Structure 1
């Protein structure tokens, strides 16, 4: 039986709120009828959650790279495994797409739709933030995020190597993880989803990917790869969260290519997957209803940026907020010797996936010992005071908080082993553990076991 501790790790995150990390897990062509057609496609360097050797960092790419609070001119757009136009293996090919056709880029919401807690999401945007899709025929291996954010719809922005193709809200209006929240239960009825090959009636028993929809430009040259950059902007606005007076940048990206080919090749309705990838593929056969007309609440990536990189303020090169507590886009300059007032943040990304996917015939028997369901979230806040000593605050929604001192001397776990160490911080034990379990009852029963 999988360790409940291992499964629960997926619910851990960095302050102020990160319930899970998100990246593109597959690409599908969408025909004029809104149907998924053709072969599956995948990002560069694809590693599935079901692959041997997968870790939480295999595909996750969070910017800025900690401990920076804001992105700057050096922030690398692509994951280290996605800088080159290379696929990881034959079973994860590029999508065969057609110029002028729509593509669905599919990803798990990981709680950012169904399990949002306003009390811990202060300053976060509506609808889970905005996904910006950029495209280019001239990708660079050392692509920088800020260079791409300057691209515009007409192709005249920044260095003019690419263009902004689409802006979508992160929440596509139908996606969900399978949990006990009202939104999940409602969507499982309105848009039921099942495992590949499964036939069933009633509410869906399988998580439904969110999707971003973008059109391959009509001018994309056939016979050549075309590059997509998927950029999810989920920043914290200044002057909302008392712990982050100047706000905080938070971007997740995926870099991918599609092979532009003929419609006969790309849009074959009866195409079958060359590889059966189990839980990585689901039974959903249609795109969201507004795939060809979607837009987002926020359509200007530069307007959504809360840091100083586009405003030219004093902190532009330091990547830390001004000591005065003024908004990040303020022109006021902080003394050179001043220390930032925002908490120091430590990134915890090397964690397993949040959701346990059912098998092709997912009807687990109660007490079988094969499936662990996490029905709530544990939030972890990492802060540092004047002494520079970090502390960890663990809390469950509406259940109070428990502060646990962090260990600065705990050794890193050996490769391939399950450890109680998270990014250098020790999981609560003794009285602290018992207090968390007492306050949260059955929701976290056994969460620190083995």
Structure 2
């Protein structure tokens, strides 16, 4: 997900775990500028985005599964790219503009839970919804690899003075989100205090985490 500001940070949301393999997947759908706990302005979208309203939309168009087909199960190679092939360059598709924000702004990354939260009890193999990591860099490259970026930690972000590193490590479940599917978890969360729903969410409440854009020192 590309964010245009003074240093043009490139953000990637990396899901380390999924609830139900092959059944549903999630990705950052939109990003918003947040001010005083309120979503402000128009959304920004990931690179190579395919809108759900597009006739060409499929889950496969927006998911990037690793290891890819042909690899030994759970084997990751040093050469495995970090991004999906349609997202390795700074290409914004029609109707999916980049988010405009500035240094020290707070942005909200939104993604759908797709049952990874509200239907967790239906899969005894998983006790949590997994975790996410958000990495930031001012100098992304089409040759960035999963293993290379996965070595970045919070210390790298500090040492590089905000130029690159791990910005967020959090639970996939933000504690509020739900799919309106009448499961006990969804019914419970619908009774809780929650932010105003966006029109695109309908009766669902998408998951989201906030990150603050750093001031990158030369």
Q: Does TM, scored on the shorter chain, surpass 0.5? A: yes
User: What is the aligned counterpart of 1:110 among 81, 97, 114?
Assistant: 114
User: What is the aligned counterpart of 1:179 among 156, 181, 184?
Assistant: 181
C-alpha distance in structure 2 between counterparts of 1:96 and 1:192, whole Å: 22
Q: CA deviation at 1:130?
A: 1.2
For residues 39-438 of structure 1, what are the structure 2 equivalents within 5 Å?
39-68=42-71, 69-70=73-74, 71-89=76-94, 91-117=95-121, 120-122=123-125, 124=126, 126=128, 128-155=129-156, 162-190=164-192, 191=194, 194=197, 196=199, 206-219=203-216
Q: Which moved more, 1:185-194 or 1:103-112?
A: 185-194
SS of equivalent to 1:58: helix
Distance change >3 Å, CA 72–CA 111, structure 1 → 2: same
SS of equivalent to 1:185: helix
Whether contact under 8 Å (1:154, 1:163) holds in the other structure is yes
C-alpha distance in structure 1 between counterparts of 2:112 and 2:214, whole Å: 26
Consecutive unaligned residues of structure 1, counting only runs of 5 or more, are 1-13, 198-203, 222-450
Whether contact under 8 Å (1:188, 1:205) holds in the other structure is no
C-alpha distance in structure 1 between counterparts of 2:49 and 2:77, whole Å: 27
Partner of 1:413: none
Partner of 1:357: none
Distance change >3 Å, CA 112–CA 220, structure 1 → 2: farther
Per-residue CA shift, 1:323-350, capped at 9, x if unaligned? xxxxxxxxxxxxxxxxxxxxxxxxxxxx
How high is the TM-score relative to the length of structure 2? 0.80
Q: CA deviation at 1:17?
A: 3.7
Distance change >3 Å, CA 86–CA 121, structure 1 → 2: farther
Per-residue CA shift, 1:210-243, capped at 9, x if unaligned? 012211112279xxxxxxxxxxxxxxxxxxxxxx
C-alpha distance in structure 2 between counterparts of 1:178 and 1:217, whole Å: 35
Partner of 1:23: 27
Higher relative contact order (CA 8 A, sep 6+): 2
Whether contact under 8 Å (2:157, 2:166) holds in the other structure is no
Distance change >3 Å, CA 101–CA 79, structure 1 → 2: same
The alignment covers a number of residue pairs equal to: 196
Whether contact under 8 Å (2:177, 2:206) holds in the other structure is yes
C-alpha distance in structure 1 between counterparts of 2:152 and 2:105, whole Å: 21
Whether contact under 8 Å (1:168, 1:213) holds in the other structure is no
C-alpha distance in structure 1 between counterparts of 2:140 and 2:21, whole Å: 32
SS of equivalent to 2:134: strand
Q: CA deviation at 1:72?
A: 2.2
Q: CA deviation at 1:166?
A: 1.0
Partner of 1:235: none
Consecutive unaligned residues of structure 2, counting only runs of 5 or more, are 1-17
C-alpha distance in structure 2 between counterparts of 1:206 and 1:65, whole Å: 34
Distance change >3 Å, CA 45–CA 29, structure 1 → 2: same
SS of equivalent to 2:189: helix
Whether contact under 8 Å (1:192, 1:205) holds in the other structure is no
How high is the TM-score relative to the length of structure 1? 0.40
Larger Rg: 1
